[in-house]
Amino acid sequence: MINRWSFFNYVLTFIIVLPIAFVINHALGSETQTLIHLKETILSEYISSTLILVFAVGFFTLILGVGTAYLTTFYQFKFVGFFVFALALPFAIPTYIMGYIYSDIFGYFNHFHIFLRSMGIKEYFNVLNIYSVILIMSLALYPYVYLLVKASFEKSKSALLNPALSLGSSRKRVFLKIILPLSRPAIVGSLALVMMETISEYGITEYYNIKTLTPAIFNTWFGLHDSKSATYLAVMAMLMVLIVLSIEKYNRGKASYKIENSNAEVEKQRLKGYKLYLTYFFLSLPVIFGFLIPLIWIGVYSYEYAAKLLDDKFLTILTNSFTTSILTAFIIMVLAFFVAYTSRIFPTVINRYLSKILSLGFTMPGAVIAIGIIMLFTDIDKWLIENYITKTLFLSGSFFTLLFAYIVRFFAIGVNTMDSSFERISIDLNKASRSLGYSYFKTLFKVELPLMKNALFFGFILVFMSTIKELPLTLVLRPFNYDTLATKTYILANAQMLHETSIYALGIIVISLIPLTIIILKRHV
Amino acid sequence: MILELKQLNKSFDKPVLKDINLEIEQGQIISILGKSGSGKSTLLNVIAGFEKANSGTLHINDQLIFNKKKNTEPQERNIGFVFQNYALFPHLTVEGNILFGVKNKKNKTLVKELLEMVDLEGSEKKYPHELSGGEQQRISIARVLATDPDIILLDEPFSSVDTLLKTQIEKDLLTIIKKSRKTAIFVTHDPKEAMAISDKIAFLENGEILQYDTPQKIYYQPETKTVASFFGIANFIEEQCYRLNQIKLSMDEGMYKAQVDHSIFRGEYYELHINVNVDQKQYPFVVFDYNNFHTKESFYISLLK
């Protein structure tokens, strides 16, 4: 039986999946000359450098993320509270901005080399290479691993550390044999997120001239005007993501990792001597290089350029970023609220799968979604003009296109926060309300909505932050002359006006820091 | 007839309810009794409208509520549902909860009346988390009574109450329901509870009602051995069931001779496993006695009707 609720879900899923379907369909066509050329020449380079980047970034984020989570969860030392907070901060700085900043600091005429020359060293270290990109991306992305793994460590620690210790195991053994294996889903899950972000990263790979698939998709589409090859590359990127996802899925297997909630107080071990100093050193590295140095750089140049750049134009761009992000977050949360509610009240197999499919956009690289939407909307526009419904391009290049792209890309965030929040509210409350005379629709507003205010806010903030930082989709799909903080940063950086990016970067970081702080404080205090 | 179920069937992957027929009269208290997985909660959900049956008919207060063509939504069935975990709305006060299903949201007199009835005067402004389990349950009943339902459905209302409190809460609940003169259907897995509170018991096994009778009848005249043994120790001579209080022991005289197989010390009494000799045939019985007997010792028993 299809009811109104489920029907809404089906339609929404169809619309959101359409762009991705377009890409796949287009790529399945016959091979073009460029594609043959691609295969003969640089396709293997695209794939190999993407793979190198994915695995290297995965490796470093694993060490940084799990290491920092371990130290801050199981040991007691001065400033541990500060580090718990500070280690999440690099999240506020988009990867591409971090990339611009380090390319400037290590530029030939700049800070680092001036310092070297003053020491009498004349050598030049060029940082525009894959190794720097690996390090920078690891610094920008390890907070995913840190936050998720720390949450998992905390949970299994308070539930299982004391019982395990009482059975006569040493702390080290408990960690290695119990807590680490139990946190495997968190570790692999967060690594999968990092890897997907790495595959779809555009700003930094393009600026450092690393030939990975995502910049290749854009260059083939816009530079060579070869849509067939671009979609082919997009499918390659999609396949990589699917491989990452299936590894994650396979890893979960059948074992249950469910841990009962416990509030047991568990004593942390005190650190002393050289171990303490090593800990400080290890924890400070990501905070200094991932947040402090970029922040100082941004602060210094923002101060220098404030007078010149803080004008109406800046204000317009700030407003653009704000309005698009707020609008996106609002629409997504409203839709996600209904979608999640539908699979709550009609928990059919189809509805459960739909919320998985609706999350596809988040796993797909932005570039894939971008060209999918361009193709889809061009076709619709063509049809509209051919049938004399409109005279000019109606959808292509409109604000609506951009908004739609954001919704496809970030819908998963909304639906996941809603799903997990609904899970915490007993379905009996819904039944109780209906047996007391309220319809599904009224119950949603009378019972679930008031109970989910916090979760809605949380999801809203997450979507908002992601949208503010988003680069490739915005760059490709924005209306003519429509700039956001992210695109402006990109454009200035690519025009070699790195210092001028500071003020826009500051905008993004300040805006992201506020909600990030709220979220971290809510969780840990 | 306040509730009438005819030939009701429900299956998920396999049949859960098979040809259920049930008639309940106004003011009766009925228990649906069965093991877990027998389909009793599904039956309650089907009556409430949370689950849709595959076939059959359902009438409430002589009005057709469900058949193949018609399915009335739960909110229009005028039933009250008391949940196992009470399902009080955590964001509303006691008053807000009680008035949730009432049109007039300012009806303070009704709240006062109901709180008096459930013996919780003065707790209007409290939130659910400030109440004990038993108090929460009484509020959830007050919330249901506020809408003046035709029938109250209660899903294992005592399962989350500890044994010491159970008798008291059972009594309170029964008093409240009797006072309100409502028809009520309890779902329970506890035969003692079912016998203590109900006018009639429907015994459910594998989705079928095996017997629907008064507690006395279902206890002394069970129609199947499954029903018999579910309500406690049941001894059989052929198809006839004899309960403990229908068996009299004597050293000197009686209807049948019996020999002790073994005995188990239970504190206040001994549980004797004996073989009863009837017309040259042996029947295994379990009886209780204050005295201990050794294996092979024999005595007489008499059976009362």
The per-residue pLDDT for A264 is: 66
Say how many CA atoms lie within 13 Å of A293 toward its Cβ: 22
Q: Which two tokens stand for residue B230?
A: 């579910």
The per-residue pLDDT for A455 is: 86
Let me know if B161 is exposed, middle or buried by CB neighbors in 10 A (0-12, 13-18, 19+): middle
Number of domains comprising chain B: 2
Distance in Å, alpha carbon of B194 to nearest chain A alpha carbon: 24
pLDDT band at B13 (very low <50, low <70, confident <90, very high): confident
Do the strands B63-66 and B208-213 form a parallel or antiparallel pair, or are they unpaired?
A: unpaired
DSSP B245: G
Of the partner residues B75, B90, B143, the one whose CB lies closest to the CB of residue A434: B75
Of residues A25, A515, A33, the one with CA closest to residue A234: A25
Q: Do B83 and A436 touch (CB under 8 A)?
A: no
Q: Contact, A230 vs A213, CB < 8 A?
A: no
Task: For residue B80, list chain A residues with Cβ-Cβ distance below 8 A.
Answer: 435-436
Which of A431, A435, A444, A456 is most worth mutating to test chain B (most B CB atoms within 10 A of its CB)?
A435
**What CATH number is attached to the domain comprising B280?**
2.40.50
Q: Do B100 and A435 touch (CB under 8 A)?
A: no
pLDDT band at B48 (very low <50, low <70, confident <90, very high): very high
Q: Contact, A486 vs A474, CB < 8 A?
A: yes
Of residues B185, B293, B273, the one with CA closest to residue B233: B273
Supply angle C-alpha A429, A430, A433, rounded to 5.
Answer: 85
Q: Do B89 and A433 touch (CB under 8 A)?
A: yes
My answer on whether B24 and B96 are in the same domain is yes
- Across chain B, what does the average pLDDT equal? 91
Per-residue pLDDT at B10 exceeds 70: yes
Print burial letters for B267-295: b (CB count within 10 Å at least 16), e (below 16): eeebebebebeeeeeebebebeeeeebee
Of the partner residues B50, B90, B147, the one whose CB lies closest to the CB of residue A431: B50
My answer on whether B137 and B254 are in the same domain is no
Task: For residue A446, list chain B residues with Cβ-Cβ distance below 8 A.
Answer: 100
Last residue of a domain, one of B180, B195, B226: B226
Question: Rounded to whole angstroms, how far apart are CA atoms A144 and A155?
Answer: 17
Say how many CA atoms lie within 13 Å of B112 toward its Cβ: 4
**Each residue's pLDDT tens digit, A367-404:** 888 888 998 988 888 888 888 777 777 777 889 999 99
Which of A84-88, A383-387, A515-519, B132-136 has the largest mean confidence?
A: A84-88
CB neighbours of A329 closer than 8 A, spacing ≥ 6? Answer: A459, A460, A461, A463, A464, A467
Which of A436, A441, A448 is most worth mutating to test chain B (most B CB atoms within 10 A of its CB)?
A436
Average pLDDT for A230-244: 85
CB neighbours of A137 closer than 8 A, spacing ≥ 6? Answer: A53, A57, A95, A198, A201, A204
Question: Rounded to whole angstroms, how far apart are CA atoms B187 and B35?
Answer: 11
Task: For residue B140, list chain A residues with Cβ-Cβ distance below 8 A.
Answer: 432
Q: Do B74 and A431 touch (CB under 8 A)?
A: yes
My answer on whether B187 and B297 are in the same domain is no
Q: Do B143 and A433 touch (CB under 8 A)?
A: no
Question: Rounded to whole angstroms, how far apart are CA atoms A235 and A217?
Answer: 10
My answer on whether B151 and B293 are in the same domain is no
Task: For residue B91, list chain A residues with Cβ-Cβ distance below 8 A.
Answer: 450-451
Average pLDDT for A435-450: 92
- Across chain A, what does the average pLDDT equal? 86
Question: Rounded to whole angstroms, how far apart are CA atoms B120 and B112?
Answer: 9
Of residues B86, B79, B183, B77, the one with CA closest to residue B141: B86
My answer on whether B198 and B246 are in the same domain is no
Task: For residue A438, list chain B residues with Cβ-Cβ distance below 8 A.
Answer: 75, 101
Task: For residue B76, list chain A residues with Cβ-Cβ distance below 8 A.
Answer: 437
Average pLDDT for A433-446: 92
Of residues A22, A43, A25, the one with CA closest to residue A34: A43
Q: Do B73 and A434 touch (CB under 8 A)?
A: yes
Last residue of a domain, one of B226, B250, B267: B226
CB proximity A139 to B under 8 Å? no
Q: Contact, A290 vs A94, CB < 8 A?
A: no
Q: Which two tokens stand for residue B303?
A: 């059976």
Say how many CA atoms lie within 13 Å of A24 toward its Cβ: 8
Q: Tokens 């930094």 correspond to what residue? A: A204
My answer on whether B68 and B187 are in the same domain is yes
Phi-psi region of B297 (alpha: psi -120 to 50; beta: other; left: phi over 0): beta
Nearest residue of chain B to residue A453 (CA atoms) = B91
Q: Do B87 and A435 touch (CB under 8 A)?
A: no
| CATH 1.10.3720.10 correct for A1-26+331-468 | yes
Let me know if A180 is exposed, middle or buried by CB neighbors in 10 A (0-12, 13-18, 19+): middle
- Helices B133-146, B108-117: crossing angle, 10 deg rounding: 130
Task: For residue B143, list chain A residues with Cβ-Cβ distance below 8 A.
Answer: 432, 436
Q: Do A436 and B87 touch (CB under 8 A)?
A: no
Of the partner residues B79, B89, B91, the one whose CB lies closest to the CB of residue A435: B79
Q: Which residues pair with B152 in a beta bridge?
A: B80, B184
Average pLDDT for A505-519: 85
Q: Do B77 and A435 touch (CB under 8 A)?
A: yes
**What CATH number is attached to the domain comprising B110?**
3.40.50.300
The per-residue pLDDT for A524 is: 46
Task: Give φ, ψ of B33 to 5 degrees.
Answer: -115, 140
Q: Which two tokens stand for residue A247?
A: 């590894």
Rounded to whole angstroms, what are the CA distances from B123 to B80, B102, B127?
A: 22, 18, 9
Q: Which two tokens stand for residue B91?
A: 């964001």
**Each residue's pLDDT tens digit, B116-151:** 988 899 999 999 999 988 889 889 999 999 999 999
Nearest residue of chain A to residue B77 (CA atoms) = A435
Question: Rounded to whole angstroms, how far apart are CA atoms A393 and A372?
Answer: 17
Q: Contact, A9 vs A351, CB < 8 A?
A: yes
CB neighbours of B148 closer than 8 A, spacing ≥ 6? Answer: none
Q: HEC string of A74-102?
A: HEECCCHHHHHHHCCHHHHCCHHHHHHHH
Note the ipTM here.
0.81
Which of B71, B75, B88 is most worth mutating to test chain A (most A CB atoms within 10 A of its CB)?
B75
My answer on whether B150 and B173 are in the same domain is yes
Task: For residue B90, list chain A residues with Cβ-Cβ distance below 8 A.
Answer: 451
Q: Do A437 and B101 touch (CB under 8 A)?
A: yes
My answer on whether B72 and B127 are in the same domain is yes
Average pLDDT for B239-251: 91
Task: For residue A434, list chain B residues with Cβ-Cβ distance below 8 A.
Answer: 49-50, 73-75
Q: Do B85 and A426 touch (CB under 8 A)?
A: yes
Q: Which residues pair with B57 in a beta bridge?
A: B6
CB proximity A426 to B under 8 Å? yes
Task: For residue A424, list chain B residues with Cβ-Cβ distance below 8 A.
Answer: none
SS3 A226: coil
My answer on whether B147 and B270 are in the same domain is no
Question: Rounded to whole angstroms, how far apart are CA atoms B188 and B47?
Answer: 16
Which of A457-466, B149-158, B268-277 has the largest mean confidence?
A: B268-277
Q: Contact, A338 vs A445, CB < 8 A?
A: no
CB proximity A346 to B under 8 Å? no
Average pLDDT for B265-281: 93
Which of B47, B69, B84, B89 is most worth mutating to test chain A (most A CB atoms within 10 A of its CB)?
B89
Say how many CA atoms lie within 13 Å of B273 toward its Cβ: 8
Q: Which helix (H) or strand (E) holds A187?
A: helix A184-200
Question: Rounded to whole angstroms, how far apart are CA atoms B152 and B158?
Answer: 15
Q: Contact, A93 vs A290, CB < 8 A?
A: yes
Q: Do B50 and A437 touch (CB under 8 A)?
A: no
Q: Contact, B57 vs B7, CB < 8 A?
A: yes
Structural domain for B49, as ranges: 3-226
Q: Do B83 and A428 touch (CB under 8 A)?
A: yes
Contacts 24+ apart (CB under 8 A), B279-284: B283/B235, B283/B236, B283/B237, B284/B235
The per-residue pLDDT for A395 is: 77
My answer on whether B245 and B98 are in the same domain is no
Question: Rounded to whole angstroms, how far apart are CA atoms A514 and B79?
Answer: 49
Per-residue pLDDT at B276 exceeds 90: yes
My answer on whether B20 and B128 are in the same domain is yes
CB proximity A429 to B under 8 Å? yes
The per-residue pLDDT for A288 is: 96
Of the partner residues B50, B84, B147, the one whose CB lies closest to the CB of residue A436: B147
Of residues B191, B226, B178, the one with CA closest to residue B27: B178
How do the domains of chain A map onto residue ranges? 1-26+331-468
Interface of chain B against chain A, CB under 8 Å? 48-50, 73-77, 79-81, 83-85, 87, 89-91, 100-101, 140, 143-144, 147
The per-residue pLDDT for B185 is: 95
Question: Rounded to whole angstroms, how far apart are CA atoms B119 and B127?
Answer: 17
Question: Rounded to whole angstroms, how far apart are CA atoms A302 and A314?
Answer: 12
pLDDT band at A64 (very low <50, low <70, confident <90, very high): very high
Last residue of a domain, one of B226, B257, B279: B226
Q: Do B91 and A433 touch (CB under 8 A)?
A: no
Q: Do A435 and B90 touch (CB under 8 A)?
A: no
Q: Do A446 and B100 touch (CB under 8 A)?
A: yes
Note the helical H segments in chain B: 40-48, 94-98, 108-117, 133-146, 163-180, 191-197, 215-220, 225-230
Average pLDDT for A57-85: 93
Nearest residue of chain A to residue B100 (CA atoms) = A436
Of the partner residues B77, B85, B91, the one whose CB lies closest to the CB of residue A450: B91
Q: Do A435 and B81 touch (CB under 8 A)?
A: yes
Per-residue pLDDT at A523 exceeds 90: no
Q: Do A438 and B77 touch (CB under 8 A)?
A: no
The per-residue pLDDT for B172 is: 81
My answer on whether B19 and B117 are in the same domain is yes
Q: Do B48 and A428 touch (CB under 8 A)?
A: no
Question: Rounded to whole angstroms, how far apart are CA atoms B200 and B194?
Answer: 9
SS3 B264: strand
Average pLDDT for A430-436: 93
Q: Contact, A518 vs A91, CB < 8 A?
A: no
Of residues A477, A463, A444, the one with CA closest to residue A519: A463
Q: HEC string of A15-64?
A: HHHHHHHHHHHHHCCCCCHHHHHHHHCCHHHHHHHHHHHHHHHHHHHHHH
Rounded to whole angstroms, what are the CA distances from A328 to A91, A354, A409, A411, A413?
A: 20, 21, 10, 9, 12
Residue spans of beta strands (DSSP E) within chain B:
3-11, 15-24, 29-33, 55-60, 63-66, 79-82, 151-155, 183-188, 200-205, 208-213, 235-237, 240-242, 247-250, 256-265, 270-278, 281-289, 298-303
